[in-house]
Structure 1
Amino acid sequence: MNRLLQGYLARSIRRGNLEIVDAKGRTHRFGDGSGELVRIRFKDSRTERKVFLNPEHELGEAVMDGGVVFERGRIYDFLDVVLSNTPSTLPSAWSRFVYRWRVLTRRIRQHNHAVASRRNVAHHYDLDGRLYRLFLDSDRQYSCAYFETPDSDLESAQLAKKRHLAAKLLLKPEQKVLDIGCGWGGLGLYLADVGGVDVTGVTLSEEQHGIANERAVERGLKDRARFHLKDYRALDESFDRIVSVGMFEHVGVGHFGEFFGKVARLMKPDGVMVLHSIGRFDGPGDTNSWIQKYIFPGGYIPALSEVLPVIERSGLKVTDIEILRLHYAETLKAWRERFLERRDEALKLYDERFCRMWEFYLAASETAFRYQDMMVFQIQLTRSQHAVPLTRDYIYEAEARLREQERERGIGVPSPLRLAGE
C-alpha cells in the first residue's frame, strides 16, 4: 500500500474495524476492532495513489470503475468508518491544495446563466423517471424530510415537511403562491389542496414539468396549480407567498444577489417567503468535485455567512431561521435503503457502473450530513417585519389545523397496494 496513505489511515482510524487489501494482496488493519468488519480491495497501485492524492474525486471514480472492490460491507459502511474518524481532514498536501484552488475558482464553475442552468438541471432531473420512483416516497419529494419523531417513516416525514413549510408561509385562501423549483409538483399540489391557494410552479426539468401537470389534472387541481417550464428569472408577476425547496443549491454563489433581488421584486409588500436549502456549518467552501462532475454540475451548498449579507442588501428581512441538522441524514438513509432493495430494477434502466455511482452518491451524501458539517436551513423572508406574528406559536397552531385538513381529505392515509413512488 502507498506508505503515505497507510500512515494517514493508521493515525486517523481509531475506532471501527477496517481492512484494506492492497494491490499486492497484503491486508492492512485499522481501528480498534469494534463493530462489523469492513474490507475493501484495491485492484492496482495506481488507484491507491490517485485516491490518496485526491480522495474527494478519485474514490468515487474508483468505486464506479471497479478499481475499489467491497469484499465485506458496502460503500456506506466504508464511508461511515472513515468519515466518523476523519470528519474534515484531507490526507495529503496536494489534496488540500486542490481544494483551496477549487474554492478560489468556484465562481467559474457556478456561472449558471439561463442556458447553463437548464443544461445542469437536465443532467440530473431528466433521468428516467422510473429511477426516482424506486427510492422516493409516493409524492416524489426529492428534498430533506422532517422527522417529527424518531420512529417516523419516510412517507410521514415528507408529509410533515410540506406541512411545516405551509405553516411558515401563513397561507390564506386564494392567495397567489410561487414555487421556485417545483420538482414533480408535490409541494405545490399540497398547498393548492390543503391550503386552498393558487399555485404557480416553475422548473427547468422537462421530465418534472410534464409529470407535475399530469398530477394536477389527475387530482382535479389544474385550475389552482399550474407548472411552467420556465426560469424564475423570466417571471414578472407579483405573489403573496413564495417558497423554494431544494433549488437554491443550484443557483451558484455568483448569482445569489440576482436570486434575492428577483424574489424581492416578485413579492408583494406584505408577502412572505420560505427558502429551504442545504447549507454548511463550517463556512464557505466548494462543491465536492466528484459530485459536481457526475451528480450536480453547477451546484453549490452555501454557508449562512454567504447568504445573509446578500439578503440584507436585497432589502428583504429575515424573520425566522431554523436549522435542520440530522433530518437529511435520515432522509438519505431511507433513500439509500430503498434504492438497494430495488437495485435490480435500476440495473435494468441503466447499467452496473451507474448503479455503483448512484449508491456512492446516496452513501456519500448521507455520511456528509452525519460527519462533515452539512445541514439544512429554512429561512423565512419578508419585505415588512409586520407580515408575520411576534412569536413562533403560529407555526404549531397552523400545523394542527393542517393536520385536520389532511385527515378530511384522506392525505397521508397509507394504501396497502402502493409501492414506493407509485
Structure 2
Amino acid sequence: MKRGVIGWMLVLVATHAAVFLLARGDATAGSAVEGGSAAGVEGAAKVRDREDDNGRSGSAAGGHALMWRELLAREMSREEFSKAREVLLRDWLRQDLRGAMDCLYAPGTWASLKDVARMLEEETAVEMARQPREAMEWIGARRFGSNSVAVFDLWLGAIEESDQHGLLLELLPQAPVFAKAEMLQSACETADARQMEVIRGQLSGEFPDRRERDLLVSSYAERAVVLVKGDLAAVLKVEEDPEVRKGLAEQWAVRELVDLPKDEGVAGLLQLPADLRADGLGELVGRGRPADLAGTVELLDSVGRHGLWEEVTAKEREATVRAAVDLAVEEHCLPGVAFAELSRITRPELREIALDQLGDQVGVPVRVEELAEVAGGLPPGRDRDAFLKGVLKRVGEWNSMYEGIRALISDDGVRKGFGEGK
C-alpha cells in the first residue's frame, strides 16, 4: 500500500497532465489523516487563487495546489501521508517556490505544517538562494504574515551560505524594517570601501531597537579595522560619532593588541587617542589570554607603569579591576593562593578592589567555614580587610559564620560598617 501511494504521488508530480485529471476527478470525502487537513485544504485553495507574477493562474501556478488538495482528501495511513506529502512538497519547492512557501508559511496553515516546513528548510533555502530578489520581494511585502521574520532568517542564511553578500545592500530598500540591521551586519563581513560608506550612512538612521545599532556598530568597526590594515588614525580622523569611535578603538585593540605580551599590549594603547584608551583597555582585559591571576597582576601593574590609570575615571578603574579578577578567578580556586597572587598588585587602592572582588567571588555559603579558616591565617591589615569585605557582602548576615568573619576585620570603622550580625 505504501509503495502504491508513493508511486501515485510520483506520477502526479511527474506528469503535468495529472493536474487536469485531478481537477475533474472524484475525491473521497473523508481522510484518515487526523488534524490539519482542513487548514491544509484552505491554504491550498488560497495558493491556487493567487495569481503568479505574470498574472497567470490555473495549471502553471496552481498545479501543485491541486495535487495538495487531492492528497489531503485521500484515505491513507499517517505514515503514508507523510511520505507522499514530502515527495509533493519537495517538488513544489523546486517548481513553484512562491506557491510552496505560501502553503508552508501562511499563518493559517503554519500550525499544521511547521514540522514539515522545518524539515524542508534546507531545500527552501537552496531555492531562495536561486531566487534571492524574488524571495526578498515576498518578505518585504509581508506575504507570510507573522512568519515573515522566520522566512527572513532562512533567506539571510541562504544568502550567506551561497556567498551572495553583495546583494544585501542592493535589496536593502525592499527589506522590511525588522530585517535591515541584520542585513547590514551581514554585509559588513565582505564589504569593500565603497560599500562601507553606504553602511556608515545607514548608521545615521533610526533603529527600532537600540541593541541593533550597537551590534551594527561593532560589525562595521570590525570590518573597518580590517580594511585600514591597522592604520586606525586614518578612519578616526574623519569619524565624529562617539559610539562609532568607541567601537573602532575596541575592535582595533582586539585585532592588534590582545595577543601580544601583556606589557606590549598595554603600551600599544598609547597609539589610541586619550579619550579612547579606556575602551581599548576594556578589550585587553576582557579578551586577553590567558586570563590567569599572574597575568592579571602583570596587566594591572603594566597599566600603571604606562600612566594609563590617570587617564580613566575612578569608576572606570574599579570596573576594569573587577572585570579582570572576575575573568581570572576560577570557580574552584584556592582562596589562599588567589589572595597571595592578587596581593602582589602594586597600587594599594587597586589591590584592595581586586581582593574585595576575590572575596565576593569565592564567598559562597557552602565554603564559608573554609574561608573563615583561610582568612584567619592571612596577615592582618588592609588587604585582608578588603578580602573579608567581599566575603561578607556575598554570604549575607543570615549566615551563622557571618559574625566570626566580621570579627576578623582589623579596621574598626570597616567592621562597624557591617553591623553586629544576626
Q: Write 1 or 2 for the structure with the bigger share of strand.
A: 1
Instruction: Please tell me whether Structure 1 or Structure 2 has the larger radius of gyration of its CA atoms.
Output: 2
Q: Write 1 or 2 for the structure with the bigger share of helix.
A: 2
TM-score with structure 2 length normalisation?
0.23
RCO greater where, 1 or 2, for CA within 8 Å and sep 6 or more?
1
